[in-house]
Structure 1
Amino acid sequence: MVNPEEDPADGGEHNTHGHPREVLHAKIEATRADIERQVHATRAQIDQVNERIEARTGRNLILAILIGVGLGAILLVSLIVIKDLFALVALIFVGFSTFELVTALKITPRKLDPVPNVIAALGIVTAAYFNDPVVMWSSLLGGIAFAVVWRLIAQMIEADGRTAPEIFRDVIAITLVQVYVPFMASFAVALTRRENGEWWALAFLIVVVSVDVGAYASGLSFGKHPMAPKISPKKTWEGFAGAVIAAQIAGILLALFMLEVPWWVGTILGALLVISATVGDLAESMIKRDIGIKDMSSWLPGHGGFLDRLDSMLPSAPLAFAIFVVFSPLSTLVAS
């Protein structure tokens, strides 16, 4: 009998080449295998590039970008959509940052207590919400006094024989923590409480981020001459040049299209903030080098800790507040 699926006249061609559906299936499988090979090859190339970047900068670039975008989205919502939410975001960031710094300092011979320092820090940021200089300074002094008294009482209870100079260094460290993290951050909260201050807060954050991105990209591409090798070996003068250019571009664009002030105000904003951001970055690097750690914590993969992200922003916040006070009246002149 003749198989109905075979045609005697075709000389068994289908036996040689297979059923059309089998041929189609084979082509699909071959295409899928080719796509998978390309995907694997591309992924391998991306991994190699990321490994080279991580070896050069010490950061996982992909994770850093994802987390940075997430944190940026939170800040945007808190500043633009729900203005009062920014104070809550600041409380969270400052609380974690203070805890990180106090915990890191405990590695050294200094003794600090996380609970009173975090409570004092949260109190300082909360006081800034009322936008009253007297309240802000009073909260700083009160917070330092609270954490110092707690430490002195704890020292008396422990009675471990530490000398007066050692205890005095504890007091200095407590003061440093409260001034460096919550008090500087409180100016950003106070800025958002001013009329149109949220736009200036957003502007200074954008400029600081531009400084970081410009320094990172330029340093990665052209960095050869270390800027402060004993403090931060991977920071270069080429990176700083890229930061200056990025800050100027961001400052001018923000001045013209968001802050509605003359373009030259943007150049001043960019010039001052690139200095404060760089100093903040180097200051935190110096603290970490003194302690003997790479990152304040590992809570933010690709970034380190919360303080590792705020280091450039903290000294920039008081400066941004001062720039707002001096130059924000120009917006009414431009508008008129």
Structure 2
Amino acid sequence: MRRPDQGGDRPTSDDRRTTGFRQDFDARARAARSDFEAQIRQRRAEFGVRNEALTARTGRNLPAAIAIALAFAVVMLASLLVFKPVFMLVAAFLLGVGVYELASAMRFAGRDVPRIPSVAVAVGTVPAAFLGGQDWALSTLLGGIVLISVWRLVEVAVARTKPSVQNVVRDLTNGLFVQAYVTLLGACVVLLSAQDRGERWVIAFILVVVAVDTGAYATGINLGKHPMAPRISPKKTWEGFGGSVAASIVVGILVTWLMLGLPWWTGIVLGVLISGSATLGDLTESMIKRDLGIKDISSFLPGHGGLLDRIDSILPSAAIAYLMYLVIVR
């Protein structure tokens, strides 16, 4: 056996050098990790500041808007191109949620629009439009408006506290407006998709709507100086509108030529009409929110407003695209 003073268990110089190397390596690794985490925090803070400034200038959370737009694009493209009848489910979801949001916002403002029959009419109009065409869609919508009106009158009849006649008339007209604004215009998308090569038309006009939004955003944020409708939407400018028209014409020519097989000049017509309808849809939504005294239609998309806020430009543009299809193709 080794005696204790022989140093059998004492660390050698090599062991000490190895231990020192490990400690030095660990210290450097911890320092590098701390520096990396600090850089990540700094980048996040800078991104947050830039995003807040951008949101203040444009009135929207751009990263969230892009993410939501991409998600919708994937779902809509898949339903239209893989098996078109599935698009009925997508449309029913969008219109049902949109009607629920608008009816709820009106009720929040003291306008009693029945939500259950309103949503049922919106959802029921989708298969009627896709499978039965214009006649079925209009019949379902008109019958639904009668149902919503009767529903509200029954609510008034059984209520303990009777609202004034003026308020009842206001409720009925607001219920009619919800169906005309969301369901009727949304049904145009469904009617268009059900046509021969209609899925291409739906994709084409939505691409033009995206071009309108992108052109207005890029031009407005960089060149915008003259407000377009300051009382309705203070951030909209005439420069942004000009950019939206230019972008919509370029994309309109491309989609009509490459996707629809139509003469290039029809793309100019499509671009000009869609730029006007999309802008009108956006302003209409702003007027509704201002009239109701709210910032967003709902909080369905956390931190980003409601679903109706995202499709406000598509709804009136769908009617324009459907009418163009009927004039050009039929």
- The two structures share one fold, judged by TM-score above 0.5: yes
Distance in 1 (CA, whole Å) between partners of 2:324 and 2:303 is: 32
1:44 Cα shift? 1.7
Contact 1:60 1:301 in 2 (8 A): no
Superposed counterparts of 1:168-179, under 5 Å: 168-179=169-180
Which letter maps to 2:161? D
Would you say 1:300 and 2:301 are equivalent positions?
yes
Cross-structure match for 1:259: 260
Cross-structure match for 2:245: 244
Would you say 1:142 and 2:143 are equivalent positions?
yes
Contact 2:156 2:162 in 1 (8 A): no
Which letter maps to 1:179? A
Post-superposition CA distance 1:193-241 (Å, at most 9, x none): 1110001001111111221222223222222221111111111112212
Query: TM-score normalized by structure 2?
Result: 0.90
Distance in 1 (CA, whole Å) between partners of 2:110 and 2:23 is: 75
Distance in 1 (CA, whole Å) between partners of 2:88 and 2:301 is: 21
Cross-structure match for 1:38: 39
Distance in 2 (CA, whole Å) between partners of 1:132 and 1:44 is: 53
Post-superposition CA distance 1:63-96 (Å, at most 9, x none): 2222222122111111112211111111011111
Distance change >3 Å, CA 97–CA 20, structure 1 → 2: same
Contact 2:117 2:147 in 1 (8 A): yes
SS at the partner of 1:132?
Answer: helix
Distance in 2 (CA, whole Å) between partners of 1:103 and 1:26 is: 59
Distance change >3 Å, CA 33–CA 144, structure 1 → 2: same
Deviates more, 1:175-184 or 1:237-246: 237-246
Indicate the percent of aligned positions where both proteins have the same amino acid. Answer: 45
Contact 2:299 2:305 in 1 (8 A): yes
SS at the partner of 1:314?
Answer: helix
Cross-structure match for 1:158: 159
Cross-structure match for 2:290: 289
1:168 Cα shift? 2.0
Distance in 1 (CA, whole Å) between partners of 2:186 and 2:126 is: 7
Cross-structure match for 1:234: 235
Query: TM-score normalized by structure 1?
Result: 0.89
Distance in 2 (CA, whole Å) between partners of 1:131 and 1:262 is: 31
Distance in 2 (CA, whole Å) between partners of 1:131 and 1:317 is: 18
1:114 Cα shift? 0.7
Which letter maps to 2:150? V
Would you say 1:5 and 2:13 are equivalent positions?
yes
SS at the partner of 2:108?
Answer: coil
Cross-structure match for 1:52: 53
Deviates more, 1:269-278 or 1:35-44: 35-44
Distance in 2 (CA, whole Å) between partners of 1:78 and 1:90 is: 10
Cross-structure match for 1:90: 91
Distance in 1 (CA, whole Å) between partners of 2:11 and 2:300 is: 70
Distance change >3 Å, CA 175–CA 5, structure 1 → 2: same
Q: How many residues align?
A: 322
Which letter maps to 1:127? A
Distance in 1 (CA, whole Å) between partners of 2:157 and 2:198 is: 46
1:242 Cα shift? 2.0
Distance in 1 (CA, whole Å) between partners of 2:11 and 2:86 is: 78
Q: Structure 1, unaligned stretches of length 5 or more?
A: 8-13, 330-336
Post-superposition CA distance 1:89-137 (Å, at most 9, x none): 1101111111111111113343211111111222222211124222122
Cross-structure match for 1:10: none
Distance in 1 (CA, whole Å) between partners of 2:23 and 2:257 is: 65
Distance in 1 (CA, whole Å) between partners of 2:198 and 2:279 is: 24
Cross-structure match for 1:204: 205
Distance in 2 (CA, whole Å) between partners of 1:39 and 1:328 is: 55
Distance in 2 (CA, whole Å) between partners of 1:247 and 1:320 is: 13
Contact 1:131 1:190 in 2 (8 A): no
Distance in 2 (CA, whole Å) between partners of 1:131 and 1:34 is: 64
Which letter maps to 2:317? S
Distance in 2 (CA, whole Å) between partners of 1:309 and 1:131 is: 28
Post-superposition CA distance 1:31-84 (Å, at most 9, x none): 333333332222221111011112223322222222222122111111112211
Distance in 2 (CA, whole Å) between partners of 1:95 and 1:3 is: 76
Compute the RMSD of aligned alpha carbons. 2.2
